[in-house]
Structure 1
């Protein structure tokens, strides 16, 4: 495990950069992580991140299709918000583990 410092807080992350403890996450950390990834977070981004966190807490498996049917954002919108791997990137920014559906 590695440690990263975001928004003045040190958090443990996997070698891929996913949080080992989702409770360490907050929106300030997400904003800093997004900036690192070249993404400027908007309210819509945060809405998606909060949806992912709620789904993770329920233990439900996350898929792009499920997020697209959530009513929060459609699949095309998810790709526009998080280009280059929408579920991987959004999950990382949400402070949750890498979804099993992602390679």
Structure 2
């Protein structure tokens, strides 16, 4: 896998970051609005946003005194192409997919 793909999957491994991405599917959001539904500090949310930003999944832009977050949907293109290569597995047959991945790691 490439470094960009590793960063994307690492960023997606956290459920909070996946929720943030889903929120940003709707529209650009201010950091404070992103943080609102979570029971964690603004600093913790900022760390999640930094990871998403480093992975290229979101961009951040300062407008006046407010920092805005925007989803970068093209960033998931490489991950999507990689995952589609496993199309021979049925969605419900995760055991076979897991076994395939285990064999790949040993090779």
TM tier, shorter chain?
A: 0.3 to 0.5
> TM-score, normalised to structure 1's length?
0.40
> TM-score, normalised to structure 2's length?
0.39
Instruction: Find the structure with the greater CA-based Rg.
Output: 2
Bigger helix share: 2
